[in-house]
């Protein structure tokens, strides 16, 4: 955190003292090694290292690049780890863009707040690893993923096609933390398994190979830091359940994803950006551990889980909103109040006030959740959790409430090098205390859209 603040100070000082200069056209290889120091309110403090490598060639397509590679190895203080390598090129195969991602996310203490948003009770004290909280809202969800995506242009138009595949191997179970006793601590995950809301066949995770295909439309002037244009992505993705051996039932599923992004220049340095996201189950039975996976075409952020979290509805706690289908939208202004050259690189510092909202459209296993509501609550019944003198029983964790709109707003600051490498600091607050308490913080790479 101290290095981040020092970097901010140095860049601000450089911006204040820099004279107006034209942008440098970058050529050849450009290396960006940095400590991977970040923070999210969901995962804690991040530490590690990352390396961005850009090949700009002769500079004729700058700020575009011939290819780029991103490598990261980092850890979070709440027990999670990230090992990631990403490759992207429009020129490896003539006329076809190729993107590949290989990532391992070791989430020993990921959040699990149940299904269907408002229908699941949220008690902030129970998410803590303390004598009172006991990590009731924590579980383990490791994910080894590989993604390969190809894209091509349709004629001379702005339309293109996309096709690819994604493999995910999920390992789920009780949270792993030195302060937790897996034999005595009881969690919402354990309760869902015990009541059959999460079937035994899914409880430990599974392997899935997703195939995706669709179309894209893109008129943006630059992909990573656009000032104008429209980007539309619409694609189907699904998985036949043939990698999990013999189960009592199958987890085949087919989903539809649509993303619409619009960027409007208001002044030379002020841009209005809007994003509409939609992901829906069309057919089949998706396993519970895949609900929060948002399938992108080109991955800008390593962790894109939702709905809820700092990559979808900023300010809400991660994984608060899980359902079969959901919609969300992001609005923000991007004001590049400083542009300058420093250490032979092009720099910009941009502020982005934002407003986000989203909701679950189609619930997930709602009838199974209603099993919780029929449980009696005599005084001698064993409570599943306790906060102070307050005892919580299994029936408390199905509220019976209808889903509603979830909203958050905040402010960010982004430091951008060569229009591609972007370190962002975003702070957000949700509007409803049932979606999270405190300030949602994200320090990481890139805009969320």
Please state, in angstroms and rounded to a whole number, the distance separating the CA atoms of residues 12 and 338. Answer: 8
Q: Model confidence over 88-124: pLDDT tens digits?
A: 999 999 999 999 999 999 998 889 999 999 999 999 8
Domains of the chain in sequence order: 2-445 (2.40.160.50)
What pLDDT does residue 142 have? 96
The dihedrals phi and psi of 392, each to the nearest 5 degrees, come to -115, 130
Half-sphere exposure of 154 (CA within 13 A, CB side): 11
Q: What gap in Å lies between CA 361 and CA 339, rounded to an integer? A: 42
- Report residue 41's pLDDT band, with 50, 70 and 90 as the boundaries: confident
pTM value > 0.95: no
> Residues 1-19: what's their mean pLDDT?
44
Can you say how many angstroms the Cα of residue 328 is from the centroid of all Cα atoms in its chain? 13
pLDDT of residue 415 exceeding 60, the answer is yes
Please say if the pLDDT value at position 341 is more than 70: yes
Of 356, 323, 331, 330, nearest to 430 (Cα)? 356
Mean pLDDT throughout 19-26?
A: 70
H-run or E-run covering 368: helix 366-369
Task: Please give the C-alpha separations between residue 234 and each of 81, 212, 277, 287, 363, in angstroms, as whole numbers.
Answer: 31, 10, 10, 23, 22
196 torsion bin: left (phi>0), alpha (psi -120 to 50), beta (else): left
3-state class (DSSP) for residue 363: coil
Q: What percent of the chain has pLDDT over 70?
A: 92
Cβ contacts of residue 332 below 8 Å, gap of 6+? 272, 273, 274, 352, 353, 354, 355, 412
* Residue 375, pLDDT score: 58
Nearest-angstrom CA–CA distance, 54 and 1: 26
pLDDT recorded at residue 13: 45
Residue 295: pLDDT band by 50, 70, 90 thresholds? confident
Q: What does the pLDDT look like over 191-225, one tens digit per residue?
A: 999 999 999 999 999 999 999 999 999 999 999 89
pLDDT at 6: 40
Q: Contact, 360 vs 321, CB < 8 A? A: yes
Please tell me whether residue 73 adopts helix, strand or coil conformation: strand
Q: Position of tokens 């019944």? A: 381
Tokens of 120: 């699941």
pLDDT digits (tens, 9 = 90+) for 56-92: 999 888 888 999 999 999 998 888 899 999 999 999 9
Whether the predicted pLDDT of 173 surpasses 90: yes
């Amino acid at each position: 955190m101290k290095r981040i603040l020092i970097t901010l100070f140095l860049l601000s000082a450089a911006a204040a003292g820099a004279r107006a200069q034209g942008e440098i056209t970058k050529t050849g290889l450009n290396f960006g090694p940095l400590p991977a120091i970040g923070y999210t309110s969901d995962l804690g403090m991040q530490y590690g290292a990352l390396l961005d490598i850009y090949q700009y060639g002769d500079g004729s397509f700058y700020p575009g690049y011939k290819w780029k590679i991103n490598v990261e190895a980092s850890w979070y203080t709440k027990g999670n780890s990230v090992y990631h390598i990403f490759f992207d090129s429009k020129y490896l195969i003539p006329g076809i863009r190729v993107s590949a991602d290989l990532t391992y996310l070791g989430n020993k203490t990921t959040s699990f707040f149940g299904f269907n948003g408002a229908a699941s009770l949220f008690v902030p004290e129970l998410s803590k690893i303390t004598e009172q909280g006991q990590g009731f809202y924590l579980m383990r969800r490791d994910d080894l993923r590989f993604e390969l995506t190809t894209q091509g242009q349709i004629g001379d138009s702005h339309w293109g096609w996309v096709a690819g595949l994604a493999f995910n191997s999920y390992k789920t179970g009780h949270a792993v933390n030195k302060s937790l006793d897996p034999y005595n601590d009881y969690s919402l995950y354990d309760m869902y398994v015990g009541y059959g809301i999460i079937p035994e066949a899914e409880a430990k995770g599974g392997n899935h190979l997703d195939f995706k295909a669709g179309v894209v439309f893109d008129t943006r002037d630059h992909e990573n830091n656009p000032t104008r244009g429209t980007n539309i992505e619409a694609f189907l993705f699904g998985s036949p359940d043939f990698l999990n051996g013999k189960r009592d039932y199958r987890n085949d599923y087919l989903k539809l994803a649509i993303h619409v992004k619009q960027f409007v220049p208001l002044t030379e340095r002020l841009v209005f950006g809007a994003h509409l996201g939609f992901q829906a189950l069309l057919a089949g039975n998706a396993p519970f551990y895949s609900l929060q996976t948002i399938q992108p075409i080109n991955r800008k952020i390593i962790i894109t889980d939702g709905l809820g979290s700092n990559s979808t509805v900023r300010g809400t706690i991660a994984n608060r909103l899980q359902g079969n289908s959901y919609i969300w939208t992001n609005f923000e202004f991007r004001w590049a109040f400083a542009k300058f050259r420093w250490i032979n690189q092009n720099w910009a510092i941009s502020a982005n006030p934002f407003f986000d909202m989203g909701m679950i459209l189609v619930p997930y296993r709602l009838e199974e959740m209603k099993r919780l509501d029929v449980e009696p609550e005599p005084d001698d019944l064993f409570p599943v959790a306790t906060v102070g003198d307050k005892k919580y029983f299994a029936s408390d964790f199905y509220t019976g409430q209808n889903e509603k709109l979830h909203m958050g707003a905040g402010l960010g600051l982004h430091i951008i090098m060569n229009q591609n490498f972007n370190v962002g600091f975003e702070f957000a607050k949700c509007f409803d205390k049932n979606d999270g308490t405190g300030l949602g913080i994200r320090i990481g790479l890139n805009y969320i859209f």
